[in-house]
Structure 1
Amino acid sequence: MKYLPKIKKKTIALPLFLLGVIFTGCKDQKEANNDNENAGIETNSEEVEDKAGLNTLSAKEKEEGWQLLFDGESTEGWRGYGKESFPDGWVIEDGALKVQGSGAGEAGGGGDIIYKDEFKDFELSLEWKVSEGGNSGIFYLAEEIEGEPIYTSAPEFQILDNERHPDARLGKDGNRKSASLYDLIPADPQNAKPVGDWNEVSIIVYRGTVIHTQNGETVVEYHLWTDEWKEMVANSKFKDWENFVNAGGDDKKGYIGLQDHGDDVWFRNIKIKKL
């Protein structure tokens, strides 16, 4: 009778000891995770979750007809404007298509790039972030005209570090700030995120109506080929650019282009849906 309680004590003590170890381990892990969070360090599970949806199409997007233009691993489908190959000066970095800054503006680097197919009525969606003082742009309805740069035929969704780049103070009423129709219509509201943060963009072109959205808000709306459009262009620096006035040419379609303006800029989640 005296021996049985001793066995009972030992069988109870062992599970309690193990529970103590488990509790201590969980506490230590929780504290470590809190330390990482306070230090701005993401856990591995968060990193996997963040990267899992990058440069991919969901089942719903596939059903809706979205087409992925960049898979995060290759430059397939892209080439230099006016070139047959993909230029030096652009690289893939952490799942993003990056133009490497030359420090020489448009005079240096690999030059602008375009996607191989032309699009007419569409919705383009992507994310961008810019380096300090950075400048770039997204072209649409571009024609590839020998001897002419891309911007002579294509409207441009401006990409800019509004806080540092002097372009933000030039133009008229902020029409050179981020998400503006460059040098023509200012983005309103001006909602670009700080340098280093990703901005979400949508550009819709449908039968001449063009809509710029940035970070969930419509910031520009205008109508191509109308009398109002022609008057606006006639009162701008583009006034003598016939191909710009007639953006998209006779067929009202063109290339999607990304600009090399000599600064570090990143693009990802580039996808398009024909309308």
Structure 2
Amino acid sequence: MNRKKNLVFYKIVICLICFYFFQSCKEKKQEPINQIFQETHKTDKEFVSIFDGKSLINWKGDSKYWSVKNGNLVGIVTPETILKNNTFIIWQGGQPENFELKLEYRISDSGNSGINYRSEPLENNPFALKGYQCDIDGKNRYTGQNYEEKKRTTLAYRGEKVVINTQINPDKSGNLRTNKKKNCWQSRYISGMLGEKDSLKSKIKNGDWNQVHLIIKNDTLKHYVNGFLMSEVIDNDTINKSLKGYIGVQVHVGPPMKVEYRNILLKNL
């Protein structure tokens, strides 16, 4: 009888050890990207956090869609709050010109979002921006490309290095539609390839946290995801390019979705 009791006891101990080992491995698996940001903050003091993880201080957006939960900046569209127009939450702490921006995001499969920079508000919508955007979507069809919201549309698809030289004047209403085709700006020269589109797509995690690093300096706009350069634009269009403006993140028209942002760090160059 004692031998049976001892056997049961040893089995319980082994199960507990296995459980704690599994939990430990699980926690370690979730660490790496967070650790990158913590190390960045320690080693490069010029990076400053612009989101405190607790409140929307210095951020302006529609509270119907944006909130802070579990330390994350969260954008949610529900069946009851379907959008008619894209809406942003906009950082109010400045309008950077040359900078680096680092952050992490996680997005639902049906989600569509983006990180705008050097952007300006629309006159008829206080929560909308027009300007450069690092595109993000849950199915990773567009993630990493350079899309200019409400202006020249797609400037560089994922994997492209693009130069824009041609100067196109908008019409009297400010519209540039005559030089757009299939949601892509036509006056662009692909000067090189950064990698095969699907190969770069494989570097992006589905339904998990991803790291974005934007390096924006003078006319050169670089979008990195998880350390891989996804697109690069050299914008020499003196009529339509922007040299400074607001930073904001987006929830897009479409089906219900959820996007989360955290560890938002800015470094002025």
Q: Which runs of 5+ in 1 are unaligned?
A: 1-20, 81-85, 169-176, 231-241
Q: Deviations over 1:30-78 (max 9, x none)?
A: 642523565xx5589769978986986733232xx11101121111111
Q: CA deviation at 1:215?
A: 0.9
Question: Over alpha carbons, which structure has the higher Rg?
Answer: 1
Percent identity of the aligned residues?
Answer: 27
Output the CA distance in 2 between the equivalents of 1:217 and 1:49. Answer: 19
Secondary structure at the counterpart of residue 78 of structure 2: coil
Q: Which runs of 5+ in 2 are unaligned?
A: 1-5, 148-153, 160-199
The residue identity in structure 1 corresponding to 2:48 is Q
Secondary structure at the counterpart of residue 34 of structure 1: helix
Q: Structure 1 residues 48, 184: CA separation in 2 closer, same or farther (over 3 Å shift)?
A: closer
- Of 188-197 and 70-79, deviating more is 188-197
Q: Which aligned runs of 4 or more in structure 1 are off by greater than 4 angstroms? A: 27-30, 41-57, 148-152
Mapping of 1:99-178 within 5 angstroms?
Answer: 99-103=75-79, 106-107=83-84, 111-116=87-92, 117-147=94-124, 153-162=130-139, 168=141, 177-178=142-143
Mapping of 1:1-275 within 5 angstroms?
Answer: 31-35=15-19, 41=23, 58-62=41-45, 65-80=46-61, 87-103=63-79, 106-107=83-84, 111-116=87-92, 117-147=94-124, 153-162=130-139, 168=141, 177-182=142-147, 183-188=154-159, 189-191=200-202, 193-224=204-235, 226-227=236-237, 245-247=240-242, 252-261=243-252, 263-275=257-269
The normalised TM-score by structure 1 is 0.64
Q: Which has the higher strand share?
A: 2
Q: Structure 1 residues 58, 36: CA separation in 2 closer, same or farther (over 3 Å shift)?
A: same
Q: Is the 8 A contact 2:107 2:260 kept in 1?
A: yes
Aligned pair count reads 210
Q: Structure 1 residues 48, 195: CA separation in 2 closer, same or farther (over 3 Å shift)?
A: closer
Q: Is the 8 A contact 2:214 2:224 kept in 1?
A: yes
Q: Deviations over 1:152-209 (max 9, x none)?
A: 631111111226xxxx3xxxxxxxx111112331112224534321111011110111
The normalised TM-score by structure 2 is 0.65
